[in-house]
Structure 1
Amino acid sequence: MFKHNNIKSPSEQVLFDVDGRGVATVTMNNPDKHNAFDDSIIFALSHLFHEIAKCHDIKVMILASTGKSFSAGADLGWMKRMASYSYEENLSDANALAHMLKNLNFLPQPTIAKVQGAAFGGAVGLASCCDIVLASEKASFCLSEVKLGLIPATISPYVVNAIGQKASRRYFQTAERFFADKAQQLGLVDEILPLEELSAAVEKMTTTLLANGPLAVRQAKQLALDVAYQDIDEALIAITSERIAAIRVSTEGQEGLTAFFEKRQPAWQAPLQQAAPQKTSLNKGEG
């Protein structure tokens, strides 16, 4: 039995499904509010990311949303409630958002953000936490917090990693809106497509990822996280040498090498045909 069969979304405003290839899609589903998120949506996203991370049969995760906007960031009603919170309550609230972002950033599976429209505030953090960001020509981005007398604190580690310190110093302070072409220049967006081609581009990228060894893909992602900004010293050389040696002798590594020399597809590519998504119950309160 697939482990992902037990994953349920705790909110009607966050949808979850997995197809027969092991491709999970997490969809923010609050289009009337431009997919702005509050504490309940943050909890649902965090829960799903946590559960997906434990499932070896999930090979790729797509983060998407319904409607015209990817996400407007924090919900105004939630922000109004937070304004009356004590420091301790605000700290607890911020910690929940911070841990949701951490769950997404360190998800062992490759992640694709499908950004069809506006991504403001915390939504820039969501995109920054994903490995690959595909955006439509209509996408726009804004780190808008200072307009409200706030700062983009919990998302800052991921945004700075994505666009660098220099650009962060500018956009954190100016709250300027910038568009997909600028986001690509900054490194936040990987590819820009016409809106009508965005879904096909996400599918193409998913297929590209699925063609690779699933264990190797996970380890390659972890490798990038582990070696970033490290001194190239004897310790790092030893660790990287150990990692390649270990995966060469692993079952997957042996199969990949053997398949290459035998000029055949490796076993993990055998059934790559798309299957219909497996429906999950989305009743509120399920978890």
Structure 2
Amino acid sequence: MTQLAEYNTDNRIAYITINRPEKRNALNPELVGALTDYFLKAGRDDDVKVVVLRARGKVFSAGADLEYLQKLQNNSPEDDLDDTIAIKELLYSIYTLPKLVIAQVEGHAIAGGCGLAAVCDIVFAVPEAKFGYTEVKIGFVPALVACFLVRRLGEGRVRELLLSGELIDAATASSYGLINFIADKSEIAAQVRGYAERLVAGVSGQSVALTKQLIHNVQNLSLEASLDEAIRLNVQTRSSSDCKKGITSFLEKNKLEW
């Protein structure tokens, strides 16, 4: 039986690959579970510093598949709750992973598929990729995605995207802040790898984890409380082995390899 997702590592980079090209890499409960397991695995692996999420085929992910949507019509409230919690766990595990996560988007990212890309730290996309949340067009609500998307884009853009259900191209997505880099199809894999390898060699894994924690925590705090949190993390970081190693290297003018 073909695996719905694949996991492999190379040079301290974990590659998580969605493998349902015949279904446009659409999400179903089995795939959601497999992706969650792989992200948690990468988070626990001390030899992994960067995670790349990518997909086989021409579409990054078209959201929920038709078979799954048909089953939703017969779900009990308990079934719907379990299913929604599973999707939440996937998105939350990506967003809070103590490693830097890059989405390599080589095709359309729609609805839940766009949600997957939006919770990654950095997004590379090909120029022809389309992005959007089409849930309102089928009477659904992009509820879980909205919680993360408001943090990334701000309320105004999120209202535009979620209430219209319209798709936008990569250039527009870049101007909105939904994606970070645009790369041609022939170059995107190499550009993602090069970017990931620079981060593997050039940044502290401890600092990445703590910085992501800080960004996550301060958004819902008052200015005073956010500054207190920043002080706590600052003090914690100064006593860390990575910080001591980095300062020593800087003072001695030695090249540092993380």
**Same fold, TM-score > 0.5, yes or no:** yes
The 5 A counterparts of 1:258-269 are 258-268=248-258
Specify which structure has the bigger relative contact order, considering alpha-carbon pairs within 8 angstroms and separated by 6 or more residues. 1
Partner of 1:276: none
- For residues 123 and 189 of structure 1, the distance between their equivalents in structure 2, rounded to whole angstroms, comes to 13
Partner of 1:104: 94
1:245 counterpart SS class: helix
1:196 counterpart SS class: coil
Give the AA of the match of 1:90: D
Identity between Structure 1 and Structure 2 (%): 32
Which runs of 5 or more structure 1 residues have no equivalent in the other structure? 1-9, 269-287
Partner of 1:135: 125
Which runs of 5 or more structure 2 residues have no equivalent in the other structure? none
1:16 counterpart SS class: strand
Scaled by the length of structure 2, the TM-score of the pair is 0.94
- For residues 212 and 17 of structure 1, the distance between their equivalents in structure 2, rounded to whole angstroms, comes to 22
- For residues 258 and 48 of structure 1, the distance between their equivalents in structure 2, rounded to whole angstroms, comes to 35
Question: Is 2:80 aligned against 1:80?
Answer: no
- For residues 31 and 99 of structure 2, the distance between their equivalents in structure 1, rounded to whole angstroms, comes to 21
What is the CA distance between 1:204 and its match in structure 2?
2.2
The 5 A counterparts of 1:86-235 are 86-210=76-200, 211-233=202-224, 235=225
Q: Deviations over 1:4-54 (max 9, x none)?
A: xxxxxx9701000011x3210100011111101111001101111222222
Contact 1:11 1:40 in 2 (8 A): no
Contact 2:54 2:60 in 1 (8 A): yes
What is the CA distance between 1:158 and its match in structure 2?
1.3
Give the AA of the match of 2:6: L
Give the AA of the match of 1:43: G
Q: How many residues align?
A: 257
Q: Deviations over 1:68-114 (max 9, x none)?
A: 11000101111111111122212221111111111111111010000
Give the AA of the match of 1:38: N
Partner of 2:8: 17
State the Cα RMSD in Å. Answer: 1.6
1:155 counterpart SS class: helix
Give the AA of the match of 2:78: E
- For residues 242 and 39 of structure 1, the distance between their equivalents in structure 2, rounded to whole angstroms, comes to 39
